[in-house]
Amino acid sequence: MVRLMMCVVLGLILSACTVSALAPPRGLIEKAVVWQFQQTQTQLEQQLGLDIKNVDIKNIAIAQQHPLSIENLPAFRIQGSYDVILKLPKRQLSQPHRDFDVYMQLQREGKTWRVLQPNPNDSNPSSWQSFMIE
C-alpha cells in the first residue's frame, strides 16, 4: 500500500514537472498578450476612427495555464490580466486589470510557439487560425 501511494505521488510530481517544462516561456506569453491586444486595437481604430499614438502594456499577471491538445499538438490556454495605458492625441486613458485569454501551441519541431485564435470564418468550433509571434 505504501508503494502504491509513493508511486501515485511520484507520478503526480513528474507530470507537473513535465507540464511546466512544456509551457511557453513567460517572455513569449507576454509577446502573445501584446500581439493579441494590438490585433483588437487595430480593429477598433479602424471602426471608430481613433488615432491611438502609443500603447503601454504593463503588469502582465498569469493566473492560470491549462495544457491541452489542439490538432494533435501540445497547446496551452493561458489566462490572466494586465494594465494598459492608451495615449491619445489629447489625453491618456488607463485601464487596470484587463483580462486576457490566449491560446499558444508548440509546433511539431518543438522549437517555436504560435498564437491560436478560433477561426471566425468557420462554424466549426475546433477550427483555429495560427499566427507566428516574434
Percent of the chain with pLDDT over 70: 82
pLDDT per residue as tens digits for the range 23-79: 999 999 999 999 999 888 877 777 777 767 688 899 999 999 999 999 899 999 999
At 10, give phi and psi (nearest 5°): -60, -40
Q: Which three cell numbers stand for residue 8?
A: 501515485
Q: Where are the beta strands (DSSP E) in 52-121?
A: 54-70, 73-87, 92-106, 113-118
Distance (Å, rounded) from C-alpha 119 to C-alpha 34?
20
pTM to 2 decimal places: 0.75
pLDDT per residue as tens digits for the range 19-34: 455 899 999 999 999 9
User: Looking at the predicted structure, is the pLDDT value of residue 128 above 70?
Assistant: yes
Distance (Å, rounded) from C-alpha 4 to C-alpha 27?
39
Residue type, 62: I
Mean pLDDT of 108-133: 85
